[in-house]
Chain A
Amino acid sequence: MIGVRLYLAQRISAMIMAPLVLIHLVTIIYAVQGGLDAAEILSRTRGSVVWGALYALFVLTVSVHAAIGLRVVSHEWLKLRGTGLDVLTWVVGLGLMLLGGRAVVAVIM
């Protein structure tokens, strides 16, 4: 249930996500070494264009990747077809973007 465009979107989003996940993990492990608390972390991320851009990109790629993945699973396992399948793909994609977007705003603003 995916053509070449969705296939490419899923592969490219995976390629972008991989280093972002690494950066995220390494940073949180490094950041809490000295016993940082939430307030201190927020004081570093607030107003940071770099962290904002990084996490915005992460949310975008996760939304694209997960929406396409769930589209395939729902088609193959739940037998969802046609418009229902398209609606699910968009709802998952936009929903994740919204939730993730809120989180990014909360950490940066």
Chain B
Amino acid sequence: MARRLGLHQEVLQVNVWRGNASGGKHCHYEVPSLESQTILDVVTWIQRNLDPKLSYRFACRVGMCGTCAMMVNGKPRWTCRTHVRKVLDNNTLTIEPLRNLPVIKDLACDMSEFFDKWDRAQGRFHPSKTRSDDVVRIPPTSVHRTQVDAAIECINCAICYAACDVVQWNPDYLGPAALNRAWTLVNDVRDNNQTVRLRAVSSDAGCHNCHSHQSCTTYCPNEINPTASIAGLKRATAKATLSGKI
């Protein structure tokens, strides 16, 4: 229930997970409700006014950098672009660190494994030309370019990774973001590392472990569809295997 404090100020009931790698618990705070308030505003208000030791991560505050993701009422969200009004449940917010990643402290997770998996999925571009070669002309309407366009706007926020049950069940699984990245490069006609990449995403931890249940797609704040990218990888790797290329 919304309580009123002082000058008709509505108050939000907020539970924030506090702790570190060895464990923690939820702490309760009361935060003034404001117009157009985001979850990140709430966390920042707590840190500035109630508990300066609260740790969390953010940078851009406009949905560009991908650092502010947290679990909000059980769902992974980019907190700088998530309005309190949209996710408030019975005037209560429960804010926790992202799922599927080890906690460093409070709401800040260790992202190393998430990014290591980008590397393991061969998420780096390997140029096939040098600076003295001509620029490759890629028509914006070409099939490959269209596939890249659909998947390229990833901000590395790990929301899809937190939403994926297979990552939870099988911690080695490369996960939706790294595989989505690999798919953009599989479609990059300038890249010359394709065989190695197709092998990497075909490993025991690769794209074939995806169950296509689409949690990643449901929660991706940039409306990317990693499930479709992974389906593309499954097709590409199956073809390459059957034709003896990998």
Q: Encode contact with B along A50-74: 1 for CB under 8 Å, 0 otherwise.
A: 0000000000000000000000100
Which residues of B lie under 8 Å from residue A4 when comparing CB positions?
202, 206, 208, 237-238, 241, 246
CA A6 to CA B203, docked complex, whole Å: 10
Assembled-state Cα–Cα distance A76/B211 (Å)? 11
Q: How many Å from the CB of A67 to the closest CB on chain B?
A: 16
The reply to whether B170 and A7 contact each other, CB–CB distance below 8 Å, is: no
Docked-complex contact B204 and A8, CB < 8 angstroms: no
Q: Which chain A residues lie closer than 8 Å to B242 at the CB level?
A: 8
Q: A3-B204, A4-B238 are in contact. List 8 more A-B contacts (CB 8 A).
A: A2-B209, A3-B208, A4-B237, A4-B241, A4-B246, A7-B234, A8-B238, A76-B166
- B120 to chain A minimum Cβ distance, whole angstroms, is 14
Closest to A5 in B: B241
Against A, the Cβ 8 Å flags (1 = close, 0 = not) of B224-242 are 0000000000100110011
- Bound-state Cα–Cα, A7 to B210, Å: 11
16 interchain pairs, CB-CB under 8 A: A1-B209, A2-B208, A3-B203, A3-B206, A3-B208, A4-B202, A4-B206, A4-B238, A4-B241, A4-B246, A5-B241, A7-B234, A7-B238, A75-B169, A75-B170, A76-B166
The minimal Cβ–Cβ distance linking B173 to chain A, given in whole angstroms, is 9
Chain B residues whose C-beta falls within 8 Å of the C-beta of A75 in the assembled complex: 169-170
CB distance from B193 to the nearest CB of A (A): 18
Inter-chain contact total with CB atoms closer than 8 Å: 34
Chain A residues with CB under 8 A of B246: 4
Q: Which residue of B lies closest to A79 (CB)?
A: B169
Closest Cβ–Cβ distance, residue B191 to chain A (whole Å): 20
Which residues of chain B come closer than 8 Å to A5, judged between CB atoms? 241
CB proximity of B215 to chain A, nearest CB, Å: 15
- For A3, the chain B residues whose CB sits under 8 A away are 202-204, 206, 208
CA distance A7 to B234 in the complex (A): 9
- Rounded to whole Å, the gap between the CB of A85 and the closest CB of chain B is 10
Among candidates A6, A8, A76, residue contacting B170 with C-beta atoms closer than 8 Å: A76
A76, B169: Cβ atoms closer than 8 Å: yes
**1/0 per position for A70-96, CB-CB distance to B under 8 A?**
001001110000000000000000000
Within 8 A of B (CB), among A1-20: 1-8, 11
> Cβ of A11: which chain B residues have Cβ within 8 Å of it?
238
Knowing A6-B208, A7-B208 touch, does A1 contact B170 (C-beta < 8 A)? yes
Complex interface: chain A residues within 8 A of B166 (CB): 76
Chain B residues lying within 8 Å of A1, measured Cβ to Cβ, are: 170, 204, 209
